[in-house]
Amino acid sequence: MAEFDYDLFVIGAGSGGVRASRIAASHGAKVAVAEEYRVGGTCVIRGCVPKKLLVYASQFAEELHDTAKLGWTLGEKSFDWAALRDFVASDVDRLERAYGSTLANNKVEHFAERATVTGPNTVRLASGREISAKYILVAVGAWPVMPDFPGNELAITSNEVFHLGSFPKRVVIQGAGYIALEFAGIFNALGAQVTVVNRSDKILRGYEEALTERLLPIMRARGIEFRFNSPIESLVKQADGSICVNTKGFLPLEADCVLVATGRRPKTDGLGLENAGITLGASGEVPVDDYNATSCPSIYAVGDVTNRVQLTPVAIREGHAFADTVFGGMPRTIAYDHIPSAAFTQPPIAGVGLTEAQAREAGYEVKIYTSDFRPMKNMFAARAERGFYKLVVDASSDKVLGVHMIGPDAPEILQAVAIAVKAGLTKADFDATVALHPSMAEELVLMR
């Protein structure tokens, strides 16, 4: 008889867990995965995929206002939140089925229930079944943080925002990270009155300041109100069903929906890792080495639960590298530099490599190149919003250390630019590239 029930047991069927399961199975491992909610994880079920669909819908609302300049005459227009919500939900269902098919096609056994760790090589399902595995992979992701204040049960997080029964006319959002500001743009463009409240006076920490300094006045000009240094102190349900929002230093607000987006924490509560001698980090994260191994030789972890970089493509690569290392005889690690990132705000921002502040802090003497322009697409809009691109260059080697952009389609353009930055190309290489005209992307090779 086999010593273990499975070669690999994966807890969590998100992007990282599914990729690890599939690759391990392709290497000949007998694999099972447990998922207590839905296959697909945060990104597919309640994160980047449904959110991006809402972004597209809200951008279309914006473009409708510009149709007259495009030569179109339209009839009466109206917005149906339920139709959009249900379409997004149907696409999530489609993707969940696709992820489930991926597991089935690779002969990965799927347990639709919670699993907890009971020892270095054992897990217990919610049904009570005990299962043994030579290796256990923890890929349970992260969960929204809800601050502790009176009435916080009246607020929702990004988990629930996709399922609102009706469209809220007044929305208060706490937080100023990418999730908060993306939803601020979505609700604003779809017609809601939006107020963003934040405990500090900064937005999008970690992004290039030249971009965030551009974004804030644009969002304000679009009608989004910001209250800085003013976190929520309490929420009170009113007789008419609305919510009274009390924030520090300001008069109360009335809202139909309060969304809290103040960060995400690894979802390790009650997971039982202490039963395998694993001590969690300060934020509940699972500490791992470069090969995704924990302090217990038979247990590994990938994705948001490690709190390294909370991005879906990173979790996928970590899961793949884990499977190749443990089951494929091909030890691999992941490089965490030059990871492109974007905030699908309106307008969107995107960046790869070092910001100017990061480069100077790292000891580089830098040259800065910028392009400040009005995108051709914006000529049809009443708003005079400008695009802005910035290159951070090492003065001694001419190597491009970072590229940062705000403007229409910035994330789509940045993906190709990230290849150049990752490859270590120089400013001279950018200059030697012929421009693609007319395009916004050509600004990247025209800076002098």
- Report, as residue numbers or ranges, the catalytic residues: 437
Pair of tokens at residue 1:
């008889």
Region at 307 (left for phi over 0; alpha for psi -120 to 50; beta for the rest): left
* CA nearest neighbour of 248 among 145, 149, 144: 149
C-alpha separations of 334 from 289, 309, 338, 416, 448 in Å: 11, 11, 11, 20, 34
Judge whether 441 is annotated as a binding position. no
Judge whether 175 is annotated as a binding position. yes
Judge whether 304 is annotated as a binding position. yes
* CA nearest neighbour of 420 among 407, 409, 431: 431
Judge whether 16 is annotated as a binding position. no
Name all contacts of 87-91 with Cβ < 8 Å and 24+ positions apart. Answer: 87/53, 88/50, 88/53, 88/54, 88/162, 89/50, 89/162, 89/163, 91/49, 91/50, 91/53
Are the CB atoms for 292 and 283 separated by under 8 Å?
no
Judge whether 128 is annotated as a binding position. no
Are the CB atoms for 98 and 91 separated by under 8 Å?
no
Judge whether 284 is annotated as a binding position. no
Judge whether 84 is annotated as a binding position. no
What is the rounded distance in angstroms from the CA atom of residue 167 to the CA atom of residue 85?
Answer: 10
* CA nearest neighbour of 349 among 212, 179, 196: 212
Judge whether 126 is annotated as a binding position. no
Judge whether 180 is annotated as a binding position. yes
What is the rounded distance in angstroms from the CA atom of residue 204 to the CA atom of residue 178?
Answer: 6
Judge whether 179 is annotated as a binding position. yes
Are the CB atoms for 304 and 141 separated by under 8 Å?
yes
Judge whether 52 is annotated as a binding position. yes
Show binding-site residues for FAD: 52, 304
Annotated binding site: 52, 175-182, 263, 304
Binding residues for NAD(+), by number, are 175-182, 263
